[in-house]
Structure 1
Amino acid sequence: MKAIVYERSGGSEVLSLTERPVPEPGPGEVRVRVAFSGVNPTDWKSRANAQPATGVRQVPNQDGSGVVDAVGAGVDAARVGERVWIWEAAWQRADGTAQEYVVLPARQAVPLPEHASLELGASLGIPAMTAHRALTLAEDSPGRLAPGALAGRTVLVAGGAGAVGNAAIQLGRWAGATVLTTVSSAEKAKLAQAAGAHHVVDYRAQDAASVIRELAPQGVDLVVEVAPTANVALDLAVLATGGTVAFYADGSGPELTVPVRDSMARNLRWLGVLVYTIPDAAKLAAVAAITAAVADGALRSGADAGLPWHRYPLTRTAEAHDAVEGGAVGKVLIEL
């Protein structure tokens, strides 16, 4: 089978196409014939910064979708032929989804409803799980989202045109929250509106703090934050007392100065999110909620849902990684 591998860290030039044997699933595992491999920022960052173990050929990419075509001992044989979405394929493992077949623990290949496309399946994983974790960190929030779970709450999603932002808008609405989002252009505003945000604020064309405070006079309960360093002043201006900022990226700067006095006086919380290291129970809660939202038709992908797909063949995986590193708006998919 064909696979993309790298044996040392570096730019996308370290990725190479190779032939390797089709793997066999062990106990508790399934083998998936991969249809799409989803590319996330952590995929290129891991390739650029994390040195694989000596002699190990690392296959990149955590997310994907496909069809189960073999199972190992202890796994129900009825799963063969099942359409699935994949999460965390390459976390502490050498086998990501940028290959024609991948073997992984059965729980990491999740049944995909028939009405859901395989493109959607490959767009879930890390972005949707990150969004779910962020949305469940506010004071007294449920550990697992469901319809009505966030009723009465106001959520601000920073960067609503991004993959995590898109998922946060959709999951927040599904859970009953009033969802506001910030974007940097009219084009991105259209994407956030397609995702279902109740209110979209272009922070370059509007006074974001004033507009958000007008929309949410009592303040927002939770900020799903993509740029904490850049947005700390805005977040302070719009947070309600007892509010939470759940931040999941450091592109705006590697250090965040937390305003101690204001945070203390208003009982504000600043919490970091990295899916790979959240508690296992939180991962499984996210998987269950995401699956339910997809089944309800509340979690979608593609241009109509505000997350355009950008497709690349396996042979152009390096270009796909570069596109994500370059800030491509939408979801980058490798089509197998």
Structure 2
Amino acid sequence: MKAIVYSRTGSPDVLELVDREPQEPAPGEVRVRIVVSGVNPTDWKSRTNGPLAFAEVTPNQDGSGVVDAVGDGVTDFAVGDRVWTFMSARDRPTGTAQELTNLPADRVVKLPVGASFDVGASMGVPALTAHRALTVLEDGPTRLGPGALEGRYVLVAGGAGAVGHAAIQLARWSGATVITTVSSDDKAALARAAGAHHVVNYRTEDTAAVVRAIAPNGVDIVVEVSIVQNAELDAAVVADRAVVSMYADDAGATASLAVRPNMSTNTRYQFVLLYTIGAAALRRGVEDVTEALIAGVLPVGADAGLPLVRFPLAETAAAHQAVQDSVVGKVLIDVSQP
């Protein structure tokens, strides 16, 4: 089988296309023939920052494909099942940038009828991160679904990104009024296509004034991509007992928070990293995302507000570079035929 591997950290140049022998799934594992692999910032950051946990690593946490074999004790999957995967390379050397990958059964989810492999490969990190960001409000729900966020205002910073896109879709599905910020007219069009009710261009508008006009009592949840840039704005627009859910680290930058405004509103600041949210939160996220997929509310593609940028498996290095360069859209790698 074809696989992308690296045995040292560094630039995308460390990624190499090789031939490897498929391995039989161990007890509790399934072997998935990957059709589409999804690339996220976490993938290139893991490749760049050492040390390596294994002598050889195949990158990429997310993917979709077809179950090819099942190990002993696996009863929830059968050969031929269409699936999506998440945290595929977490504490393992076998990510989704390869034709066949063995994964614990609890990191594999059946792909509902009607959901494409492209959609499946776009879930994982973005959708589960967005779910967590939307379910840590002190007075709010821990589950998403129709009516769960009814009457709430959600501000999504960077609505044209993959996490922002999923947050818009999940929040709207759950009944929230969704406001998002963008940096250009083109990104505004994408955010509207994703379903945002209100779009604010922070380069040309007074963002705080616009948000306060929409939500006079403040927003309940901020899905925050850059707390370093937006700390002052967030403090100015949150409601009492709001939460600012921060899922990106701005390359390790340090943020400063004004004490008095945040104290006055009892604002909660919640750091969000998918890999340490715990099994219960992951399970809730997987179940709710699956229901959203069944409902058809998580489409991808330019018409849905998230353009797809495609690469063949042999050009995985270019795919990683595209994500590292903050390309607009979701980067997917075509690994094998459906």
TM-score between both structures, scaled by the size of structure 2: 0.97
Deviation per CA, 1:42-101, whole angstroms, max 9, x where unpaired?
A: 0000000032136x1100000000000110111128621110011000001100000000
Letter in 1 for 2:326: G
1:245 maps to what in 2? 244
2:258 maps to what in 1? 259
Q: Given the superposition, is the C-alpha separation of residues 77 and 184 from structure 1 closer, same or farther in structure 2, using an over 3 Å criterion?
A: closer
1:324 maps to what in 2? 323
Letter in 2 for 1:163: A
SS of residue in 2 equivalent to 1:241:
strand
Q: Distance in 2 between matches of 1:227 and 1:259?
A: 16
SS of residue in 1 equivalent to 2:306:
coil
Q: Distance in 2 between matches of 1:332 and 1:161?
A: 13
Q: Distance in 1 between matches of 2:175 and 2:122?
A: 22
SS of residue in 2 equivalent to 1:221:
strand
Letter in 2 for 1:30: V
In 2, are the aligned partners of 1:229 and 1:252 still within 8 Å (CA)? no
1:44 maps to what in 2? 44
In 2, are the aligned partners of 1:169 and 1:195 still within 8 Å (CA)? yes
Alignment of 1:35-184 (within 5 A): 35-53=35-53, 56-76=55-75, 79-184=78-183
Task: Count residues in correspondence.
Answer: 335
In 2, are the aligned partners of 1:302 and 1:308 still within 8 Å (CA)? yes
SS of residue in 1 equivalent to 2:323:
helix
Q: Distance in 2 between matches of 1:183 and 1:237?
A: 18
2:268 maps to what in 1? 269
In 2, are the aligned partners of 1:230 and 1:252 still within 8 Å (CA)? no
Q: Distance in 2 between matches of 1:95 and 1:322?
A: 20
Letter in 2 for 1:177: A
1:25 maps to what in 2? 25
SS of residue in 2 equivalent to 1:52:
coil
Unaligned runs of 5+ in 1: none
Q: Distance in 2 between matches of 1:273 and 1:194?
A: 26
2:308 maps to what in 1? 309
1:10 maps to what in 2? 10
Deviation per CA, 1:102-160, whole angstroms, max 9, x where unpaired?
A: 11011211011121110010000000000000000112222221211111100000000
Q: Distance in 2 between matches of 1:45 and 1:263?
A: 31
Let me know the Cα RMSD of the aligned residues. 1.1
Q: Distance in 2 between matches of 1:248 and 1:211?
A: 24
Unaligned runs of 5+ in 2: none
Q: Distance in 2 between matches of 1:181 and 1:298?
A: 18
Q: Distance in 1 between matches of 2:26 and 2:328?
A: 38
